[in-house]
Structures are given as structure tokens and as C-alpha cells.
Amino acid sequence: MNSDPNRFTHQRLTEIALMEEAFLPLAEAALLLAIEIGEDASIEQYLNRIDSLAEDFNLYRQSVPEITGAKAMISFFYKETGFAGNKSNYFDPANSYLNKVIDNRVGIPISLAILQMSIGARLDIPVEGIGFPGHFLVRYKEDGGSLVDPFFGRELNTHDCKTLLKQISGGRLELDNTHLRVATKREILVRLIDNLKSIFWRKKEWKQCQRCIENQILLSQKKSQFELQLGAIFEMRGAQPKAERKYKEIITDQDFSEDIRSIAIKRLSSFARQPTVIH
């Protein structure tokens, strides 16, 4: 049992955030984030379980040498091992906690993708994460770029991707190469947290939202809207002095975009317009 997760996880996540892309341990980072945001889990135990999944997949793949790596993973991951997309409770936070995904055998596209990428990494099988709009995908490079939908466990061709994008965008978007761009590990982790943040935001669980945003800031490599969101969370939690300090910090930092600084100015101005309460 991890009695003080914040001390260890924050230190380790800080180390990971400074790593080069090639050396960043994706599964470990995802597990650390789960603990940082509220889970109680043993990192070593779950990394060992991923190792075991990789060993099992390696043996399975040797038994079916006639099929591609993507097809072998689909058969092993979804049929033999029983992983699946959580269709009945998509917005359960557990779907974004890698330890719970391993325990429950269900998840959302990005968490299932992280698991497949981590299995591939242990076997030197190049599995890439694809930041498709609204529905994360994986690509198996050794098969010439086979795309897999990790939620439904099926291969996708170009026509499938066009159809999926139209469904997600309501027909507003047409498929192009930018929609199939490889996501960096940091981008994957930030997107994973974003799913949790959205759930907590809808539930007005501001403390959890704050944890999510602070970790997104930690992992992001440039000044972004996450700092602005942190100021908003301080407001939601009734911590106006903290919100004011955050907005002032954004306004005076030229590394932030003009749009973000403009919003911070408006938020700070709103405090000045609030009526004084006389007791």
C-alpha cells in the first residue's frame, strides 16, 4: 500500500517529464498518473503483469507465424486475453487508470492503446499511437502501417478511417494526413489525463480536476491553456488569491499566446468588478 503517493509519484513524474521521447517509459508514467490522481496501486506489480502479457503474446505469435503482427495482437489481446472497449460504461474513470484496465480487462481507446504499445515495446515490435480526432488508434509499422482500432479490436483501412472521422465530426471533417499523425508519448499521456479531467469537470470534482491539470502542466513542454485552466480551478475552489496570482503570472509571461493572456486579463478584471461585501 502506498501511504504517501504524492511524494514518490511527483518526483518520478518530474524525472520522466524531462526524459527524451525514446527513453520515456509510457506504461510506468500512465501508472504513476493513476496513483497521482487518486489510485492506490503497486507500480512494480503492474509493470510485471505487462511483462507477463508480453511474454504470453510472444509465445502466441510464434504459434501463428502466418499472420501479421496486427492480426496476431487482435486475436491475442481481444480473444485470447479478453480485453475490450468498455461500451457499457465508457465514462468510468477506471477506464483511464492503467492498473484498472489491466485488472478489469476493459478500457477506452487510448488506455488500451497504451497497453498494446507497452507490450510491443517489450518485444521490439514498433507500435505507434495515432492521435486520431476523438478516437485514439494504433499503427503496427512492421505490417506496412496496419491501423487498429483498440476499442473495437479491428483493423481499419482508409475507407474505415474516413467513415469513422465523419461519424465523430458529424460530417464536418474530411480525412487527411494530419488526422493520422503519430502522437508522442507526452501527447498520449496529456490526452489520457484530458479524458479524466473532462469526467471530473462534468461532475464538478474540482480537486481531482486540479490534480489532472497540474500533471498536464508537468508533462507539457510549452506554455498552454492548462495554466489558464488551473486559474479557473482555483476560482471554482474559492481560492481567489491563488487565481489572481496565476492570472497575473500568465499576463506577464510572454511565452503564453496572446489569446491566453487576453483571457487571463479578462478573468483578472472580473475580480475588480465584483462588489465589495460589507459585514
Query: Are both 113 and 247 inside the same structural domain?
Result: no
Q: What grid cell was written down for 104?
A: 478489469
Query: Are both 176 and 228 inside the same structural domain?
Result: no
Query: Are both 231 and 156 inside the same structural domain?
Result: no
Query: Are both 30 and 116 inside the same structural domain?
Result: yes
Choose one of 154, 180, 206: the last residue of a domain. 180
Query: Are both 150 and 261 inside the same structural domain?
Result: no
**Structural domain includes residue 195:** no
**Structural domain includes residue 60:** yes
Decide: 72 and 60 in contact? Cβ < 8 Å.
Answer: yes
- Extended strands (E) in the chain: 84-85, 106-107, 127-130, 137-140, 146-149, 154-156
- Rounded to 5 degrees, φ, ψ at 58 are -60, -45
**Structural domain includes residue 203:** no
Query: Are both 41 and 102 inside the same structural domain?
Result: yes
Each residue's pLDDT, cut to its tens digit, for the chain (279 residues) gives 344 546 778 899 999 999 999 999 999 999 999 999 988 999 999 999 999 999 999 999 999 999 999 999 999 999 999 999 999 999 999 999 999 999 999 999 999 999 999 999 999 999 999 999 999 999 999 878 899 999 999 999 999 999 999 999 999 999 999 999 999 999 999 999 999 999 999 999 999 999 999 999 999 988 889 999 999 999 999 999 999 999 999 999 999 999 999 999 999 999 876 654 444
Stated pTM of the model: 0.92
Query: Are both 241 and 129 inside the same structural domain?
Result: no
**Structural domain includes residue 217:** no
**Structural domain includes residue 113:** yes
β-pairing, 106-107 vs 84-85, is parallel
**Structural domain includes residue 64:** yes
Distance CA 157, CA 70 (A): 13
- Strand-pairing partners, residue 164, are none
**Structural domain includes residue 188:** no
Query: Are both 40 and 146 inside the same structural domain?
Result: yes
**Count helices and strands in the chain by DSSP H and E runs:** 12, 6
Q: What grid cell was written down for 131?
A: 492521435
- Extended strands (E) in 26-83: none
Residue from 74, 77, 76, 71 nearest 60 by CA: 76
- The arrangement of strands across the sheet holding 154-156 comes to 127-130, 137-140, 146-149, 154-156
**Structural domain includes residue 194:** no
Decide: 36 and 9 in contact? Cβ < 8 Å.
Answer: yes
Query: Are both 14 and 65 inside the same structural domain?
Result: yes
Query: Are both 171 and 93 inside the same structural domain?
Result: yes
Query: Are both 113 and 26 inside the same structural domain?
Result: yes
Domain that holds residue 256: 222-273
Instruction: Show the CA angle centred on residue 163, arms to residues 185 and 93, nearest 5°.
Output: 45
Query: Are both 149 and 235 inside the same structural domain?
Result: no
Our count of domains for the chain comes to: 2
Dihedral through CA 29, CA 106, CA 54, CA 126, nearest 10? Answer: -70
Query: b/e string for 200-238 if b means 16 or more Cβ within 10 A?
Result: bbeeebbebbbbbbbbbbbbbeebbbbbbbbbbbbbeee
Choose one of 121, 156, 180: the last residue of a domain. 180
User: Which residue matches cell numbers 483498440?
Assistant: 150
